[in-house]
Structure formats: C-alpha cells, structure tokens
Structure 1
C-alpha cells in the first residue's frame, strides 16, 4: 500500500505502457513503465507483473519501479505463478512457454508445449501468421494444473506443471467463421475444473476442464476478450466483430456463472469496448473496467460511471 490513498492503487496496462493512479482519483494517473503494448498486468500477493511486447517486468513496490526479467523471447503475452510461488510461467509470441524456479532470474523452456498434435496449425494472418499464448492460469484447487489459452490454437491443459499437454478444444469454436476457430483470448478459472473462456467466436464454459464445452452467448455478439468474476457475479463484454466497423459493444453481467447474460448499460455503450477488469480484494468493493478508448469505468451501487481516462487503449487492469 502507498501513501496516495488508503483504498488502493489502480495499474492500467495500455498500448503505451503501464499507468498508475489512486483508485479514488483515476484522473491523476501517470505512466510508470514505458514499453510496447502491455497485454497483462497481474498482481500476485505483493508482486506485480507486466507482460508486454517489450518483455516481462516485475514490480515489488506497487508499480513504482520495474525490473526486466529477461524472458528468452522478447514478446511476453501472459504470466502466472504456481500457487506456492515456486514456479513462474511466461507465455510468449510466437507460442512458447517458459518457467522460472528462481523468481525470474533464469528460465527454462517447457518443450512439451511444442509437441501438441495441432501445433503446426496454430496461426492467424492478424498476428504475423503465428500464434501466441494469450492467457495462463493456475487455480489453487489444482496447483499442478496449468491452463493455457492460445490465440489461435485453443485451450491446452497440463497436469504436471507444464511438462506435458493435452488439447481441450473440441467444440470450442464458431462454426460460422473459420478464421475464428479456437481463437482464445482469455481463460478464467472459476475452480480447478470450471473455466470460462473468451474467444473471438463466442463465450464458453466447461465444468470438466475442457472435456466438454457449453456456449453461453447467443451468437449475436460473438467477439469476447475477457471475463471477470467478483463477489458472485460474472462480468464480460462483446462486440459483433473486431473493432470499429462491427462494434456495437455490449456489457453483460451474470449471477449464475453465465447461464444467463444480462445486458447492462454503461458510459460509451455501443462505442467503447470493455477489454479489462479488476476489483479490490474486499468482496464488497466495486469493480473497475477499462475500454479500448482509454476510459476507466467503475461500478458503484450497480451503476457504471466513468472515473478517468488514460491516453491509450486499456489492455489490462490490476489493483494493489
């Protein structure tokens, strides 16, 4: 915790680096890390990581100063530690997976990730005809299980700390669009077995670690970027298609883990696509969201308001 506010600090990962602001005065943000696009800002206990196209960075002082952890590949898209803190995983572009057993001082590639049968089919023209590990997750209920979301490639599961992998992507695609098949943007682990996966071709849930999937959206707004769970409520957002020409951005909330999705109004409704979410640790606190135009929103007493802006697209949020 810092001296700016007793309620916490918001970190915003953007296309221009990481911005830092008091959560009660987001308008007072300043850039604390200048990098290429920040794909993930994630807090684990008192440590914050920023996965960026310029490398993986770590902060131990609430985002004030940062250290480059020198992952072997420059473009790092995802990061997660094991629940016991002994392993740190980093997913890159192109899609390679690395692990560190010393907090990021040295790295070892998990070669089993390259042996997945569909590996040679992972590619998309939008990302230089290769894929990347867009999302990594380890749930405390299953500490040896690592979940990887590949854009474009699907969901992969390892039950031996990343040494070997199984594909769990059957049924995880939009039948109407070949270019959106297995286009995984984010994997939210609600438990060791229950996942909610945001894809370019729909929102999916599994309660069997990917052995079967249920599509949760109604196909009208199939382009999802990230889902978030807090205090018994699921949050997500979608558009009709990627970016401006097909926007019609929509915010959804659910109190039944996605079985039903309620459309909710918010500032920028239709024109601003929510890409990122965060909430303080306390269950009664409000939820924050960041949009593709740089707006930061806050849910207060069930209503969404704009509380500030940063000068670039919000890609990820974290609260410390």
Structure 2
C-alpha cells in the first residue's frame, strides 16, 4: 500500500492507502513542512525540512519524528557545526551514494547554505566554498530581496561526485568532486530554477522547471545533457503559462515530463489564483493536461509520479490530491478527509512511498 506525504503550510499530512480507502493523519503541526525525502535504502527513514522549525527525521515511516541537525546546546558534547539556520528549504537523499553503508543526505537553508550528512543526519558538514562564488552578490529571493536560499540539490546519475544546485534566485551551480570545489553558473544556465531533476535512464541529463520565462521569453524550461555545463531551452507550447514551479518525470521514460504552470507568479502564489499542468513527451511541444483539475482558485500544483504504477501521476493543490492514470482522459480526485483549513494553504511538497 502506498503512503503520501503532503507538505502543507500548517502541517505534514500523511495519507495512507488502505483496503478500505485513504486515511489521512496530521504530523509536525505548526512547523510549515517544505520538503520531504525518503531514504532509498530504508523507506521507513523519512526526512522533513521545515521553514523555521529545522530538520526532522522519522525512523518508522512517519509515525514519530525527532528534530535533527541543530547546533549542539551548551550542555551537550559538540557534534560538529550543525545546521545553523532553522529555515530549511530543501532536503534530499542521494539515490545511490553511500558512506559506511549510509545513504548521503543533503540539506539546504535560507540564507543559502548547503550541508551534507553521512550518518543518517546525526552530523552535518557545510559546503562552505559556495559562499565564495562571485554570483552570490546577485542572489536574492524576490519576495524577500534581503535573502536567498537553496532551492534544489540534484545528484548526477552519471557520476556520484557530481551535484547540481539551484539557488533561488540567481544561479545554477555545480561540483564535480562532491563539494571540494564549486563551479559558478555556466553561460545561459537558468537563473530561477524551481525544480531540478535527473533521471536514472538518462545519466548526465538535467531537467529544469524555471521562473525564467517571466524574464526571458522562451526560457520556461531547460535541459542539459552534460550535468549542467551547457543548456538548451525547450519551452514551445508554454507561451500562455510561462511560469513553471513544479515538475515530475515518468519513472521509466526519460523523455516524458509533467510541469505545473501559471501565467505569472501572482496567479501561482498570491492573487487571482490559476494553475494548470502541461506535459511534454519526446520532442513534441508542451501540451496542457488539466481536465478534471480545479485550475481556477488553485495554488500552483505540486506533482509526483507513482513509484509502483509507472504512468500514473499525482497533483496536489489546496483543494486536494488528484490522480491521472495511463489511458484516462482526466484527473480524478482522491477521496480523503481534506481539512477545511487546507483550502487556504499553499502546498509545498508531495512525496509518495511505495
């Protein structure tokens, strides 16, 4: 049975698939979860990044949680530098890199800083050289221009030492030696990458869903085939909704992408809400795939691919969780107890554990 982890503004809402339907339970209330990551070696080990309340970990599939990564209190033995900011903006687990049998974990914060753990989140090391990159002078998050944050961290399927990192707003940066040295933003790389993905069937390829389409026409979506050294924009079909904010990939087809789109950041996050979904298969233009979704009044959708049923996708917004299955023509709402307060909350994360 599948388990869905939904990051809402007020809590982490976990939906479990049962023989009698879907059951939802509340966790980490009041913490504003923004990202969730599952350890591929142990799917009961879940990490949750929260904005303002630090990083959390569960060892029992989400039933119980403990705070991790904080700088040691004065009465405890030093445990390294820890994660200095409680404003976590990203967490991910490397799909295959291990140290001492443990999956390597990454955590990003606001202000932009990136950390790594090789012992399941007990100790953390900062990639400090990121702070010396020349482009840092231009990093700023538009709603709060006095700061910036790590938006996405993407390990390469071609080389475990390669990482691509998105800083919102201002840069795509990368390392080829797992953080020993960093390369600043390449020529024509996206400035505002909201989601940065890789695919195991296309080693070396990166997929970027961007806000750049609002700055430069045609720059809504980009791909790289060399781990971010060079980029090509492939935005045909997105002219009506050039602002991309979320994305997922078909787990078995590296040329099948779904992206959440809106006309502008205002429609995606603030006033006059309207959000839709597009799909790009192969070299075809992007095509809208929104029938059955509550586009009007919806915060921009958060997307995920089903880890068991290849070709099945999910979209989550303030109205609920929706499923699109191969061979169907529209999205179908998952019947679960949807709290009334969620109708006014901006969703941030959707992860599915098989």
State TM-score, norm by structure 1: 0.87
Which residue does 1:3 correspond to in 2?
none
Which of structures 1 and 2 has the bigger CA Rg? Answer: 2
State how 1:164-183 maps to structure 2 within 5 Å.
164-173=181-190, 182-183=191-192
Which residue does 2:76 correspond to in 1?
none
Distance 2:167 2:89 in 1: 10
The answer on whether the counterparts of 1:250 and 1:273 sit within 8 Å (CA) in structure 2 is no
Which residue does 2:50 correspond to in 1?
52
**1:241 corresponds to which of 264, 287, 293:** 264
Which residue does 1:188 correspond to in 2?
197
| SS of structure 2 residue aligned to 1:167 | coil
Measured at CA, do residues 246 and 169 of structure 1 come closer, stay the same or move farther in structure 2, by a change above 3 Å?
A: farther
The answer on whether the counterparts of 1:254 and 1:260 sit within 8 Å (CA) in structure 2 is yes
Residue 222 of structure 2 is aligned to residue 204 of structure 1: yes
**1:305 corresponds to which of 321, 332, 343:** 332
How much does 1:128 deviate?
4.7
The answer on whether the counterparts of 1:56 and 1:68 sit within 8 Å (CA) in structure 2 is yes
| SS of structure 2 residue aligned to 1:114 | helix
Measured at CA, do residues 205 and 26 of structure 1 come closer, stay the same or move farther in structure 2, by a change above 3 Å?
A: farther
Distance 2:11 2:284 in 1: 36
Unaligned runs of 5+ in 2: 70-82, 213-219
The answer on whether the counterparts of 2:299 and 2:347 sit within 8 Å (CA) in structure 1 is no
How much does 1:249 deviate?
2.1
The number of residue pairs the alignment matches comes to 304
| SS of structure 2 residue aligned to 1:119 | helix
How much does 1:295 deviate?
1.8
The answer on whether the counterparts of 2:244 and 2:262 sit within 8 Å (CA) in structure 1 is yes
The answer on whether the counterparts of 2:151 and 2:194 sit within 8 Å (CA) in structure 1 is yes
Which residue does 1:72 correspond to in 2?
84
Residue 178 of structure 2 is aligned to residue 161 of structure 1: yes
Residue 151 of structure 2 is aligned to residue 134 of structure 1: yes
How much does 1:197 deviate?
0.8
Which residue does 1:19 correspond to in 2?
13
Range 269-278 or range 104-113, more displaced: 269-278
Measured at CA, do residues 249 and 94 of structure 1 come closer, stay the same or move farther in structure 2, by a change above 3 Å?
A: same
**1:85 corresponds to which of 92, 98, 103:** 98
Which residue does 1:176 correspond to in 2?
none
State TM-score, norm by structure 2: 0.79
How much does 1:39 deviate?
1.7
State how 1:100-115 maps to structure 2 within 5 Å.
100-115=117-132
